[in-house]
Structure 1
Amino acid sequence: MPQHASTARICRDCDGFPMVAITTGTRHTDGTRATLRITCPTCKGTGHTAPASLARTGR
């Protein structure tokens, strides 16, 4: 049986991975790495985008 395409609107900028942890290269006193959590500015951390008909354009 053929597989149907997913209808979920995945963010094209982050591919559905809206939050990443980036290491700074330094370590805390207990030996763990210091990280920064960054969210996708396009989808604002949801991983999905609004359909084109619901997106507001213009004035």
Structure 2
Amino acid sequence: MPQHAQNTRVCRDCDGFATAAITTGTRHRDGTRATLRVTCPTCKGTGHTAPASTLARAGR
């Protein structure tokens, strides 16, 4: 019988790629490139979002 995978909600802003390494264009003394690691502010680096039922709802 086929097995079904769990349906995890992927962050719509980063599409599941929560951390990116960006090169600054400069190099260190040993010749390696200087990079910055940036995480998605929406999912805070997890790559997943919480279902709407667990989020706090505002209004009536």
1:5-56 per-residue CA deviation (whole Å, 9 max, x = no partner) reads 8611000000111000000000000000000000000000000000000111
The TM-score, its normalising length taken from structure 1, stands at 0.85
Q: What is the CA–CA distance in structure 2 between the aligned matches of 1:44 and 1:26, rounded to whole Å?
A: 27
What residue ranges of structure 2 are gaps of 5+ in the alignment? none
Question: Which residue of 2 is the match for residue 53 of structure 1?
Answer: 53
Question: Which residue of 1 is the match for residue 42 of structure 2?
Answer: 42
Runs of 4+ deviating beyond 6 Å: none
Counterpart code for 1:14: C
Question: Which residue of 1 is the match for residue 16 of structure 2?
Answer: 16
- Aligned pairs, how many? 56
The TM-score, its normalising length taken from structure 2, stands at 0.84
What residue ranges of structure 1 are gaps of 5+ in the alignment? none
Answer with 49-58 or 38-47: which moved more. 49-58
Task: State percent identity of aligned pairs.
Answer: 73
